[in-house]
Amino acid sequence: MTGLPVTLIRLISGANVRWVGCAPALHQRVYFANHTSHLDSLVLWASLPPEARALTRPVAARDYWGKGKLRPYLAAKVINAVLIERQKVNAGNNPIDQLVSAVDQGHSLIIFPEGTRSVNGEVGVFKSGIYHLARRRSELEFIPVLIDNLNRVLPKGEFLPVPVLSSLSFGASLRLEPAEPKQTFLERARSAVMGLRDV
């Protein structure tokens, strides 16, 4: 879906989009970003060109995006999110299997490797999901994205956005190297996001 929802998302966020390490593209990618606000998925998705946006699915927590009336509608009808379990994960609802399935269907993904929103705006430790996805689909191109100031547009615990400018910076792609240890990859991916503050 395009048009009005995308315009509203951009208007609310006031996001300035910078492609500093790569250019917009239609081939399959995994965009991974720091997590600062419930707006992150919507704003990152809306920042992509229309053709790329149509192929890209944000990954979101079912326990948040599956509740109420508006959030499930946005997740299903606007951004076509992949809803994953964060609690009571078992072999039947393994999030990595869901992501691999979406990739195998030709989708690009938006993920937040911290797994939860930062309370102070700093980039937290990356959980291992991004590594396991990269290991199972090593051909994937991973694009780091730094989200800045969205935590002030919609602070944690608030429901109404505040008119503050924000920015998204897209960096250079990276891939899992052959035999690269998990912790090395996680630290490299996190550093790629944090490094966009200096670009």
The pLDDT tens digits of the residues spanning 126-177 come to 999 999 999 999 999 999 999 998 777 655 665 556 556 789 999 999 999 9
pTM over 0.85: yes
d(CA 58, CA 56): 7
Look at residue 71 and tell me whether its pLDDT is greater than 80. yes
The pLDDT tens digits of the residues spanning 10-63 come to 776 678 899 999 999 999 999 999 998 888 999 999 999 999 999 999 999 998
Is the CATH number 3.40.1130.10 carried by domain 4-198?
A: yes
d(CA 16, CA 150): 11
Look at residue 99 and tell me whether its pLDDT is greater than 60. yes
**Which residue ranges make up each domain of the chain?**
4-198
- The position carrying tokens 């149509």 is 54
